[in-house]
Structure 1
Amino acid sequence: MSVFGIEGNKFVHDGKSVQLISGALHYFRVVPEYWRDRLLKLKACGLNCVETYVPWNLHEPEPGLFDFSGMTDVTRFVESAGELGLYVIIRPSPYICAEWEFGGLPAWLLRDEGMRLRCSHRPFLDRVDTYYDELIPRLLPYQCTRGGPIIAMQIENEYGSYGNDKDYLEYLKDGLTNRGVDVLLFTSDGYTDANLQGGMLPGVFETVNFGSRPEEAFAKLLEYQPDKPLMCMEYWNGWFDHWNKPHHTRDSQDAAAVLDEMLAMGASVNLYMFHGGTNFGFYNGANCLEKYEATTTSYDYDAALTEAGDYTEKYTAFRAVIEKYAGPIDTEMPPSTPKKAYGKVALTESVRLFDSLGELSAPVRRPCPDPMEKVGQNYGFILYESRISGPQDDCEISLQDVHDRALVFIDDRYLGVIDRWSKQKLACSIPSGGAKLSILVENMGRINYGPFHKDFKGITEAVKIGIAMLHDWTIYPLPLSDLSGLSFERLEKLDPGVPAFYRGTFHAEEIADTYLSMEGWGKGVAYVNGFNLGRYWEAGPQKTLYIPAPLLRQGDNEIVLFELHGADAPEVTLVDRPFIQ
C-alpha cells in the first residue's frame, strides 16, 4: 500500500514531496494497440502522470448494457500506465465535456422527456448510480492505496460553469466514497469567482483550468483555497477545431513559456492535451454559445504529439522545460509509427440511400416528425418522409427546429439544405398530384458545453408548409453502425445530389498508418474494414482522415463512404501525411 495526498501546500507520496507533471491522453481516442506507444512518449517527455476522462456514453451505450472491451477497456489502459511507472488521474464524472458527444452523457437519457441533467433530479441520479455500480468497482483495485497507479479521481467537471447544485456534488462524492474510493478527490473549474463558487465543494481539493496568465489564475484560486497545492488540471496548450472554421495553432515557445512559469511557481500541471487523438465514429461534440458549431473528427488539438502520435516542436519545447525542474530524462523516445501512401483507390461499387432503406432501417409511423431520441436512436442520421398535397405554387418549407443539418428532397430530387446555424427555409412548388417530401437529417454531434446541453437530434418540433404543420410521417432511423447488409452494384456513373454509399478495395502488403484524402468529395462518413473513421466535409479545415495501422489488414482492405452530395470522381487517395486547410 502507498499513500498519495496533501500535506500543507504540497503533494506527497509516501512522505516525499511530489510535483505532478501530467498529460491528458484519452484511451477512447486512441486504438488500444497504440496505448503503450503514446504512454511511453508521454514518459519520455519527462511527465510522471497521465490523466484521462471516462466517457459514460461509450461504456453504457444502452441502458444496462455495458462495454469495457477494446477501446473501452479502461482498466487495461490504467494497467499499461502503471507498468511504465506513471501516476494516473481518473475523471469518471457523469459529465466530461472534452469536446465529446453530449459531454460523455448517454444520448438515451433524453428518451425521458422530463430528464434533468447534472443536478439532484432523482431519475438522473438513479442512472448515475447504475453506471457507478458497474464502473467504480473496476477501478478500485488500481488505486494507489491498493498498490495501483491511480492517485486521484474527479467528482464533477467544471461544474461551476454549469450550475450550483451542491447537493448534487455531495451525492457524487458520496457515491465514490461509499463504493470504496479512498484516493484524493478533486474538482476542476475555471478561475472566475462564479466558477469557483459554483464548482467547489467543502473539504474537496479544487484545481483550475486555463491556457495563460497562471499568476492571475492561481491568485484567484488562493483566495478560495489558500492552504493547498496549486494545480492546473487543464493547461490548454493548444485548442480544438470546428468545421468551417480556421485551424487552431499555438506557438510552441509561447506554450512552453507558460509551462515554465507554472513549474517555477512550484505548481503541478496537467497538459491538456498532451496527445489528442481522434473522434472516431459519431462521437465528436459541439459548442453552442453564439451559434451551433460541431467539432471536427480530428482531435489533434495542436498538442505535443500529433493525432498520429508523432513528435512536434511543442513536444521538444516542453521536454526542455520539464528537464529544468525534473532533472535528466532517462526514458528513450520511441520512434514514430511508420506512415505509408497507398495511392489512389477506385470506388467501383455504389448503392443509393433511398434504395437501401430496407437493409438499414425499420421504419416507424408517427403523426409528427419526432427526434431521434423518441424513436430509440442515439447517433447517425434520420430520414423523415411524408406527402405534400398539390398544387402549391411558390410555397415555403421550414423546419422547426432542425438539429443539425437537413437535406431536403421532393420526389427524391434534391431541393437544398436547411441547417440550425444559418438557413431554416426553402422555396418550392408542388405539382397538382402532390409530392413525396423526404428530409434526411444528420446529427453532427450533441452539445458538450454550455446552457444548451439538452440537445435533441433530428427535427425537434415540426415541418411547416407555409404556416401550416405537416403531419403523418414515416421515420427511418439510420444509425449506420452496420453496413454489412448493403447490396452494392457496379458503379456506372456518379449521381450528384443523391446520398449514396460507395465501396472500393485496396491491397496492402505492408501495414502502416495512412490518411484518407477526401479531396473532391462533399460531406459524409468514411469506413475502413467496417470501422467508422468519422466525418469528412469539404468545408474544412480537416481534409484527411487518420487511419491507424491496426485498423488495416495485410491483403485486401475495404473502404466505404456514405456521401451526401456527390464527388468529382469515384476515387479516393491514401496519403502519408495529414492535410489541414
Structure 2
Amino acid sequence: MADFRIGDADFLLDGEPHRILSGALHYFRVHPDEWRDRIRAARLLGLNTIETYVPWNLHARTPDTFDLDGRLDLGRFLDDVAAEGMHAIVRPGPYICAEWDGGGLPAWLFIDGETGVRRNEPRFLAAIATFFDHLAPVLVPRQIDRSGPIVLVQIENEYGAYGDDADYLRALIEMNRGIGLTVPFITVDQPTDEMLSRGSLPELHRTGSFGSRATERLATLRRHQPTGPLMSSEFWIGWFDHWGAHHHTTPVDEAAGELDTLLAAGASVNIYMFHGGTNFGFTNGANDKGVYQPTVTSYDYDALLDESGAPTAKYWAFREVLSRYTEVPTETPAGPAIGVVDRAGIDRVVPLSAVVDRVDGWTHHDDAPTMDEIGHYSGYVLYRLDIDTSGPVVLACEEVRDRAQVFVDGSPVGVLSRDAHENAIVLPGAGSRRVEVLVEDQGRVNYGVRIGEPKGLIGPVTVGGESVGPWSVLPLALDDPARDLGLVEDPDVAGTNTTRAAEPAVGPAFHVGTVEVSAVGDLHLDSSGWGKGAAWVNGFPLGRYWSRGPQHTLRVPAPVLRVGTNEIVIFETGTTTGVLAFRPTADLGHTEF
C-alpha cells in the first residue's frame, strides 16, 4: 500500500517527489498472451508506468452485456503491470478517441436520436454510470492506496477540442469518485489556450498532448496549470494511417530530442504510443473533416515497439535519453519469434450468395433501415429489394455509410463510396429483378461532430425517385465466419465450391484454407493480389485489408497459431488473383506523401 498525490511542484509517492515515465499500451490492441512481454519491454526501456484507455463499446457490445474476459480482461492486464513492478494510468473516458471505432462510445447509445453526446444529458450520464459500475470491481481494488498499480485516472479525453460543458465534467468526477476511485484525476488537452481552458476544471490537474515544440507547449500548459507537475500525458512520437494515404513515420533523432527537452524541463511523460498494436476485427475508427477517411488495421504508430513487439531504432534512442534521467536495466528485450510455414493454400471458395439464405437473421421492413436500427453495429449488412420497372432506374439515398456494392440478379453493377460522396447508381435492365446492396461500415468516426452517427443506407432510399419496399435485411455475423455461417461444419455449405477457379475469383466470397505451421511465431498475411475484405485465423479476427494500401500485410499473433494445421477464412468482397502467402515481417506501405 502506498500514497500517491499531486503536490505543489511534483507528483508525490509516499511523500517523495516522483516523475512519471509512462508508455501507452492498449490491452485491447494486443493479444492477452503478449501483454506481459510488452509491459516488460517498457520496464527495460526505463519506464515506470503503463497507460491504457478503456474501450466502452468493446466491453459492452449491447446495452445488456459487459465482457471482461479474454482480450478484455482489464484486471489481468493491470495485474500484469503490477507484476512487473510498474504503475498504471487508466483512461476510461467514456470517450477515448484513440483512432478507435466511434471513439469508444457504443453505437447503441444513440439509436433513439435523443441521447446526448459528450455533454450533461441525463440518458448519456445514466449509461456512463452503468459503465463505471461495471469497471468499479476491476479498478477500485487495484488503486495504489490498496496495494495496486493505478496512480492516476483521466476524466474524459481532450474535451477542450469538442466542448466546454463544465457540468458534464463535474458529473464525471462525481461518478468516478462515487464508485470508489480515490487516486488523483487528470485531464488532457492540446496545448492551446482555448482547449486547455475549455477542457478541464480547477479541481482537475491539466496535462498536455503534443509531440513537438516541447518548450513552447510546456509554457502554455504552465499558464493554465500554475502549480503541480507538468506532464505531457500524450507525447506523440508517431501517427496513425488512413486507407489510401501513406504510412506515417517520424525522424528518430527529432523524436528523441523532443523527449530530452521535455525531461530536461522536469516534466513527466506518457509516450504515445510505446506500442501501438493492431485494430483487430472491425475496431478501427475514422475521421471525417469533409472527406471520410477510415483508419487502417495496423496501429503500429511508428512506436518504440513495432506492431509485432520488436524494438525499433526509436526504442534504443529513447532508452539512451531516458538513461540520463533514470536508472535503466541492463537487460534488453529480445523481440518476437518468427513462425515457420510449411504449406498454405485456399481449399474452397464459398460465394456469399450460397450462405445468406441458409442463416438466421433476416428482418423485413417497409423502408430501408440503418444498421443501427437492426442492432448491428459493425462490419457488413446485406440489403435486398425486388423491383419491377419498364427500364433502367436510379437507386439513390441521402448518404452511404460507408461503402455499398450494388448487384442486380447477382451481377455487380457498381460501388457507392462515402469518401467519394457517391449516393446514386443506375440499376440496368427492365422487368422483375432482385437488387442486393452489400454495405460495409468501414469504421465509425472517432473525432469531431460526427461521433454517434448511424451506419448503413441513410434514407430515404428511392428507386426512380419513389420510395420503395419492402426491404429484407441481413446483418452478417462475422465474429467467426467459419462457425457463424457454417463454412466448416455445414456439409451443404462446404460443398458449394470445392475447387479454386483458375481465373480471378469474383466476390463477395469466403476463401477457406489451411496453413501448416511447424514452428509457432509471428506471421504476416500477405494481402498482395487481394482486393478488399477481412481475414480470420483459427477464428481470431485479424482485421481488414484493402488493395489501396498503404499496408499490405495483416499481423497474425503467435498465440493465435498452433503447430500443425491452422484454419484461415478470408472474406473477399471484390476480385482477387491472390494466393495464400505469409511474410515474416510487416509491410505497412510507402512513407511518401
TM-score, reference length from structure 1: 0.97
Residue 333 of structure 1 is matched in structure 2 by 332
Query: Which range is displaced more, 559-568 or 489-498?
Result: 489-498
What is the CA–CA distance in structure 2 between the aligned matches of 1:207 and 1:469, rounded to whole Å? 52
Q: Could you say what secondary structure the match of 1:305 adopts?
A: coil
1:411-443 Cα offsets, whole Å, 9 max, x none, are 110011101110515553543323211110001
State the partner residue of 1:49: 49
- Distance in 1 between residues matched to 2:440 and 2:473, nearest whole Å: 14
- 2:588 counterpart of 1:580: yes
**What amino acid maps onto 2:586 in structure 1?**
P
1:256 and 1:560, CA in 2 relative to 1: closer, same or farther beyond 3 A? same
Q: How many angstroms apart in 1 are the aligned matches of 2:509 and 2:260?
A: 52
Pair 1:473-2:471 in alignment: yes
Hey, what's the Cα distance between the residues in 1 that align with 2:120 and 2:213? 35
Check conservation: 1:462, 1:470, Cα contact below 8 A.
no
CA contact (8 A) 2:95 2:105 kept: yes
TM-fit CA distance, 1:202: 1.9
Which residue does 2:14 correspond to in 1? Answer: 14
Match of 2:558 in 1: 549
Distance in 1 of aligned mates of 2:366 and 2:354: 24
Does the 8 Å CA contact 1:341/1:574 hold for their aligned counterparts? no
Distance 1:215 1:113, change over 3 A: same
Identity %: 43
Identify the residue that residue 490 of structure 2 maps to in structure 1.
none
**For residue 98 of structure 2, what is the aligned residue in structure 1?**
98
What corresponds to 2:509 in structure 1? 500
Aligned length: 578
Q: Distance in 1 between matches of 2:409 and 2:248?
A: 42
1:116 to 1:378, Cα distance in 2 relative to 1, 3 A: same
SS of the residue 1:67 aligns to: coil
2:414 to 413, 416, 420: 416
Which has the larger displacement, 456-465 or 553-562? 456-465
Secondary structure of 2:443 counterpart: coil
Greater CA drift, 268-277 or 15-24: 15-24
Where 1:520 maps in the other structure, the secondary structure is: coil
In the alignment, residue 367 of structure 1 is paired with which amino acid?
Answer: D
Pairwise CA distance, 1:221:
1.4
Change (3 A) 1:499 1:7: same
Change (3 A) 1:429 1:223: closer
In the alignment, is the contact (CA less than 8 A) between 1:414 and 1:497 conserved in 2? no
Paired position in structure 1 for 2:241 = 241
- Residue 174 of structure 1 is matched in structure 2 by 174
Shift of 1:344: 5.6
Matched, 1:560 2:585: no
460-469 or 502-511, larger mean C-alpha shift: 460-469
Amino acid at match of 1:574: F
Q: What code does the residue aligned with 2:77 have?
A: F
- SS of match in other structure, 1:481: coil
Task: Show the counterpart of 1:488.
Answer: 494
- Is the alpha carbon distance of 1:309 and 1:272 closer, same or farther for their aligned partners in structure 2, counting shifts above 3 Å? same
How far apart are 1:155 and its partner, in Å?
Answer: 1.2
Which of 433, 438, 441 is the aligned partner of 2:436?
A: 438
Query: Which residue of 2 is the match for residue 113 of structure 1?
Result: 113
Tell me the alpha carbon deviations over residues 157-195 of structure 1, each in whole angstroms, 9 at most, x when there is no partner: 111111111111111100011211110101111111221
In angstroms, what is the RMSD of aligned CA positions? Answer: 1.5
- Structure 2 Cα separation of the partners of residues 151 and 558 of structure 1: 42
Distance 1:235 1:203, change over 3 A: same
How far apart are the structure 2 equivalents of 1:359 and 1:249?
A: 46
- Corresponding residue of 1:73: 73
Matched residue type, 1:488 = A
| Displacement of 1:340 | 2.7
Matched to 1:402, the amino acid is V
- Contact 2:480/2:536 (8 A) holds in 1: no
Structure 1 regions of 5+ residues with no counterpart? none
Q: Show the counterpart of 1:40.
A: 40
User: How many angstroms apart in 2 are the aligned matches of 1:459 and 1:244?
Assistant: 23
- The offset of 1:387, in angstroms, is 2.3
What is the deviation of 1:495?
6.2
Q: After alignment, is 223-232 or 309-318 more displaced?
A: 223-232
Q: Secondary structure at the match of 1:5?
A: strand
Do the aligned partners of 2:372 and 2:454 also contact (CA within 8 Å) in 1? yes
C-alpha displacement of 1:359 = 4.1
> What residue number does 1:276 align with?
276
Partner of 1:529: 538
Question: How far has the Cα of 1:113 moved from its partner?
Answer: 2.4
Q: How does 1:40-439 map to 2 (within 5 A)?
A: 40-327=40-327, 329-342=328-341, 345-393=344-392, 395-425=393-423, 427-428=425-426, 430-439=428-437
In structure 2, the CA distance between the partners of 1:500 and 1:206, relative to structure 1 (3 Å rule), is: same
Contact 1:43-1:331 within 8 A present in 2 as well = no
Provide the C-alpha distance between the structure 2 equivalents of 1:540 and 1:384, rounded to a whole number of angstroms: 28
The aligned amino acid for 1:321 is: V
Q: 1:257 aligns to what SS in structure 2?
A: helix
Give the 3-state SS of the residue equivalent to 1:448 in structure 2. Answer: coil
Shift of 1:351: 1.1
- Aligned amino acid, residue 212 of structure 1: S
The alignment's TM-score, normalised by the length of structure 2, stands at 0.95
Distance 1:287 1:475 in 2: 27
Shift of 1:90: 0.5
Please state how far the C-alpha of 1:396 moved relative to its aligned partner: 2.9
SS where residue 323 of structure 2 aligns? helix
1:460 alignment counterpart: 458
Residues 344, 572 of structure 1: 8 Å contact kept:
no
> Residue by residue, what CA displacement relative to the aligned partner does 1:39-92 show, whole Å, maximum 9, x if unpaired?
111011111111001111121121131111111111111111111111110111
What is the Cα deviation at residue 343 of structure 1?
6.0
Q: Which amino acid aligns with 1:365?
A: H
User: Aligned partners of 1:455, 1:206: CA distance in 2, in Å?
Assistant: 30
Shift of 1:498: 2.9
Secondary structure of 2:34's aligned partner: helix
Question: Taking structure 1 as reference, are residues 18 and 396 closer, same or farther at Cα in structure 2, changes over 3 Å only?
Answer: same
Residue 357 (structure 1) shift:
0.8
Q: Secondary structure at the match of 1:79?
A: helix
Paired residue secondary structure (1:449): coil
CA distance in 2 between counterparts of 1:448 and 1:277 reads 18
Q: How much has 1:553 moved relative to structure 2?
A: 1.3
Q: Deviations over 1:459-510 (max 9, x none)?
A: 1213233433333211111131232112233024256443000101122221
| Superposed CA offset, 1:378-419 (max 9, x none) | 1110111112322224x4333321100110111110011101
